[in-house]
Amino acid sequence: MNEFYRLNCMTRKKHGLPPQPYYFFKQVFKHVLSKDQGSIVLASYYGKIISAAVYFHFGEKVIYKYGASDTFFQHLRANNLVMWEAIKWYNSQAYKTLCFGRTSPKNEGLIQFKAGWGTEGSILKYYKFALDRNTFQKDDSEVSNALKALFKHMPIPLLKIVSFFSYKHIG
């Protein structure tokens, strides 16, 4: 989980987003991965972990939940290797389906990566309901372009502090 988190921080910074707090992923490990309901697949190059993905599995289904990589090694296509090895392993364990998860329509790179595996996209609509106000609310979770530009230039230790104070649901 430590190596995945290191790469996740790099990936989120590249996209102009603070990483989820480390505590969140500790809870994912504690409540999902350690209960044999998921796995982490890593790729290394000369002993350095350069790509990682977290998968959840339930019954006969697998969900690709989180992916992260070191962009310095992107030319090696380690994300593709991680996905291929996960597909092979889950297939050997008799899992039937692999869901590539949701993707923002604005994330063209991730959409292209998923489409390269022959996935079929569909529109998922999300609604937020404020129990305290008994009404639906507008989704304002999209990060502004100005904030994204700022986050892209912040050092990762500072982004971790921002994430600690900005994520509403930690783990």
pLDDT for 120 equals 84
Q: Tell whether 152 is covered by a domain.
A: yes
Please indicate, yes or no, if residue 41 is contained in any of the structural domains.
Answer: yes
pLDDT at 18 (0 to 100)? 93
In a domain, 100, yes or no: yes
What pLDDT does residue 124 have? 76
Q: Is the pLDDT of residue 106 over 90?
A: no
Whole domain around residue 100: which residue ranges?
A: 2-166
Least confident of 42-46, 104-108, 129-133, 167-171: 167-171
With 80 as the cut, is the pLDDT of residue 126 above it?
A: no
- 153 within domain boundaries: yes
User: Who has greater pLDDT, 105 or 142?
Assistant: 105
146 falls within a domain: yes
Tokens linked to 60: 């006969």
Could you report the per-residue pLDDT of 27-49, keeping only the tens digit for each? 999 999 999 999 999 999 999 99
Indicate the DSSP class of residue 119.
-
The answer to whether position 139 is within a domain reads yes
Q: DSSP for the chain?
A: -HHHHHHHHHHHHHTT-PPPPHHHHHHHHHHTGGGTSEEEEEEEETTEEEEEEEEEEETTEEEEEEEEE-GGGGGG-HHHHHHHHHHHHHHHTT--EEE-----TT-HHHHHHHHTTT---------EEETTTTEEE----SPPHHHHHHHHHS-HHHHHHHHHHH-SS--
**pLDDT greater at residue 11 or residue 167:** 11
Is 149 part of a structural domain of the chain? yes
Assess whether pLDDT exceeds 60 at residue 169: no
User: Is 171 a residue whose pLDDT tops 50?
Assistant: no
Counted domains in the chain: 1
Q: Mind listing the pLDDT tens digit for each residue in 48-74? A: 999 999 999 999 999 999 999 999 999
**Bridge partners of residue 41, in order along the sequence:** 53
Q: 171 lies in a domain?
A: no
| CA 70/CA 50 separation, integer angstroms | 5
Provide the CATH number for the domain around residue 114: 3.40.630.30
pLDDT at 102 over 90: no
Residue 140 pLDDT? 60
